[in-house]
A = this chain, B = another copy of it.
């Protein structure tokens, strides 16, 4: 058993589980604020040199999990780990967002597909050499992923932050 605690709170325009964008790709331009708790501010030094950051957060609206789910972008059941659905054994969400600026422990970010008041667990700098891959196959999402910008969530997961 591992215990974790929030280092901040993510504020976004999305106050309800339904009608949310699916992934940052469906949330282009949507602005949010990541409020970092003051004891952690010293860790933000140098972060403003990065145009993109990876947010790891808690899917706080989700409860329990199923090992097969029908994702928002599909019509048939898929294995949970082949999806980004929020109800997971360890409900950790991952979104790469654009970082506009940092002021007094508040990170102004864009392309946010995250529920309002989401507890933040970690921030990592996005580095293409580490995080971007080439020659990628993406299974059942190969077709569906191209439509993500036009799709919205519904309430099927209790929490519906990801595809």
Contacts and interface: CB of A to CB of B under 8 A. Distances in A.
Interface string A67-92: 11000000000111111100011101
A67 to B, nearest CB: 4
A32 interface: no
Given A52-B133, A96-B130, A130-B148, 13 more contacts: A2-B5, A45-B68, A46-B82, A46-B139, A46-B140, A47-B79, A49-B142, A51-B133, A84-B127, A90-B122, A92-B92, A98-B133, A130-B145
Given A139-B125, A140-B46, A84 B130 contact: yes
B79 A130 contact: no
Contacts of A98: 133
- The winner among A23, A81, A137 for most chain B CB atoms within 10 A is A81
13 contacts: A1-B4, A2-B4, A4-B4, A40-B89, A42-B67, A49-B142, A50-B82, A50-B137, A84-B125, A88-B122, A98-B133, A126-B138, A128-B145
Contacts of A58: 2
Contacts of A80: 42-43
A30 interface: no
B94 A136 contact: no
Nearest to A94: B124
Interface of A: 1-7, 23-25, 40, 42-52, 54, 56, 58, 67-68, 78-84, 88-90, 92, 94, 96, 98, 119, 121-133, 135-142, 145-146, 148, 163
Task: Identify whether the interface residues of A are mostly helix, strand, loop, or mixed.
Answer: mixed
A4 B90 contact: yes
